[in-house]
Chains A and B, each alone.
Chain A
Amino acid sequence: MVEMDGMRMVQTRAILSYIAAKYNLYGKDLKERALIDMYVGGTDDLMGFILMFPFLSAEDKEKQRALIVEKATSRYFPVYEKVLKDHGQDFLVGNNFSWADVHLLEAILMVEEKKSDVLLGFPQLQAFKARISSIPTIKKFLEPGSQRKPVPDDKYVETVRRVLRMYYNIKAN
């Protein structure tokens, strides 16, 4: 839940769309917005495989790790690689920095935490990662001491389970 501009906003997608629109990271028109929504939908699906990861059993974690890497390298990364290759621009949509770029960088870094060399074979994404990481606000967020959170650990899992009384077993995809 995010308290902002007199609202108590819930629903992750609603909050993200509001922020993107408010801070001009949502393209210049309806069609660019649609493209951003499509790309963000993809990276959201990809990160969805990672979201439940800390809650899985050790055995399921290994299976899920393989699934994450497989989805990333066969379904998602090739799409963004091709988008960047085809238009040759620095950013995914409309030659301008947008929410889609931020979301893709986040997804890349999260998948790399599961397999560090996952970008081998994706030269456009490697260059994209370097480019977007060097944007001053992003660079700052990537530095120690920022509000970026680390890879979830057992303590995080315990906290979520305790607070939400969510003790059932999460099943892998």
Chain B
Amino acid sequence: MSAKPKLYYFDGRGKMESIRWLLAAAGVEFEEEFLETRDQYEKLLQGGSLLFQQVPMVEMDGMRMVQTRAILSYIAAKYNLYGKDLKERALIDMYVGGTDDLMGFILMFPFLSAEDKEKQRALIVEKATSRYFPVYEKVLKDHGQDFLIGNNFSWADVHLLEAILMVEEKKSDVLLGFPQLQAFKARISSIPTIKKFLEPGSQRKPVPDDKYVETVRRVLRMYYNIKAN
């Protein structure tokens, strides 16, 4: 096992993208092995590397970690992006839970039929603007600080930026009416590690396309239709 964390996933966003964001934000270099063939996946399975037969899987610190939330929590705690005490951690978990739910509506998007995509796009924007963004807007407005929690950069800030950018890809002016979030987006984007991750050539993955969908379906033999929310 190398010293750098090694990420096992498809060459695309999916559930691994939040992990890439967090490692990048923490300034941690990582390697990636991209699943392209069914064979590769079966080798990983037979080797016993995938606890529940699923990816994401991250090899790091002598562990083969699975379960996205477990991996993210470990990274956040290890790199001091998880608040200073139990209560701050609870707040971070709450906020991340929200952005996770919001991004969950986008996760399945590439797998939907063209008709369902339009319905889902509307749903994503509706949830973002009526349920999630107002919460973070208010949090920032109420305390007037640069970061969501404890006046310190944390996992919650990284996750919210990721969510904002993903929703903007569905509706570019979605932050109209959210001045705090607009300022937050500019601020967090200018943090050196984040700025670097946002530049071309980084390990950030692009918006998923048909090739990504085909790869996932082929490797996982997941040919059934995904239904919209």
User: Given the complex, which residues of B lie within 8 Å of A142, measured CB to CB?
Assistant: none
Interface of chain A residues 119 through 138 with chain B (CB within 8 A)? none
A13 close to B87 (CB less than 8 A): no
Q: Nearest Cβ distance between residue A111 and chain B, in whole angstroms?
A: 15
**How far does the Cβ of A49 sit from chain B's closest Cβ, in whole Å?**
13
Decide: A37 and B94 in contact? CB cutoff 8 A.
no
User: Do A17 and B53 touch across chains, with their CB atoms under 8 A apart?
Assistant: no
Q: Are B73 and A33 in contact (CB under 8 A)?
A: yes
Residue-wise interface mask of A (19-55) relative to B, using a CB-CB cutoff of 8 A (1 in contact, 0 not): 0011000000011011001101110010000000000
Q: Is residue B165 contacting chain A, with contact meaning CB distance below 8 A?
A: no
The answer on a CB contact under 8 Å between A31 and B63 is yes
A10 located at the interface, meaning its Cβ lies under 8 Å from any Cβ of chain B in the complex: yes
Q: How does the 8 Å CB contact mask read for B92-119 relative to A, with 1 for contact and 0 for none?
A: 0110111000000000000000000000
B176 close to A (CB within 8 Å): no
A10–B73 touching, CB < 8 Å: no
The answer to whether A117 has its CB under 8 Å from any CB of chain B is no
A146 within 8 A of B: no
Q: How far is the CA of A42 from the CA of B74 in the complex (A)?
A: 16
Query: CB of B78 within 8 A of chain A?
Result: yes
Q: Is B207 an interface residue (CB 8 A)?
A: no
CB distance from A82 to the nearest CB of B (A): 9
Within 8 A of A (CB), among B39-90: 51-53, 61, 63, 65-71, 73-74, 77-78, 86-87, 89-90
With a cutoff of 8 Å between Cβ atoms, the chain A residues found around residue B51 in the complex are: 38, 42, 79
Interface presence of A14 (CB below 8 A): yes
CB distance from B192 to the nearest CB of A (A): 26
Interchain nearest-CB distance for A18 vs B (Å):
4
Contact, CB under 8 Å: B98 / A11? yes
Contact between chains at B97 and A34 (CB < 8 Å): no
Known A-B contacts A37-B70, A41-B69, A79-B51; A30 and B78 likewise in contact (beta carbons under 8 Å): yes
Query: Are B94 and A10 touching (Cβ within 8 A)?
Result: yes
Q: Which A residues are closer than 8 A to B by beta carbons?
A: 5, 7, 9-15, 17-18, 21-22, 30-31, 33-34, 37-38, 40-42, 45, 75-76, 79, 171
Please list the 8 inter-chain residue pairs (A to B) with the smallest Cβ-Cβ separation, ordered nearest first: A41-B67, A11-B97, A14-B93, A37-B70, A18-B90, A34-B74, A38-B70, A14-B94
